[in-house]
Amino acid sequence: MRFFRLKMIGLVAGLAFTLAYAFLRQYPFGFDVALCASFTVMVFGNAIRRRGFGLFSGEESKTVAEILLVHAASLAALVMIVRVGSYLAPSLPDWLTLPVGADNQGRVGPSALQILQSLAVFLLGFVEVRVLTAKRVVEQGVVRARVSRWSKADLEADRMNGLRLR
């Protein structure tokens, strides 16, 4: 997939964040929606880059409902990581909330809590891409056929074959 390069995925994710936040910044959930939009672009961009459009179709692909369920759970975890971190920051010890360091221009760095949140979000995205790109396990010897193409007589014969004693 030549269009799904890492730089392009990052650019589109940044654009998705910017557009979503620009339109929803007056609402309290604007940052969350923008974060979820950029996370979605990053995850599906990397999953399609790794597996191609076979991610959504083919015998070894997961169902669309399964893909959406995994992604919805990941988005919920993402919002919880960000929100819980911001709500808990005042009650955490100083060594977690104070900036790690400063440079020569006086700019302060991230706190240990922000570093831990970033690692958790990265791990969440990594695990979701791995789950989405994993191929479905097909048991050997089991013939998978679409039931909609079978006639009623074929279904009855298959049922009777399963009931025979050997």
pLDDT at 36 exceeding the cut of 80? yes
What would the mean pLDDT of 34-49 be, rounded to a whole number? 92
pLDDT at 69 exceeding the cut of 60? yes
pLDDT at 23 exceeding the cut of 90? yes
What would the mean pLDDT of 126-149 be, rounded to a whole number? 68
Q: Give the type of residue at 160.
A: M
Q: Please indicate whether residue 32 or residue 143 has the higher confidence score (pLDDT).
A: 32
Q: Where are the domains of the chain?
A: 6-139
pTM reported for the whole predicted model: 0.73
pLDDT at 145 exceeding the cut of 70? no
pLDDT at 37 exceeding the cut of 50? yes
Among 13-22, 96-105, 116-125, whose mean pLDDT is lowest? 96-105
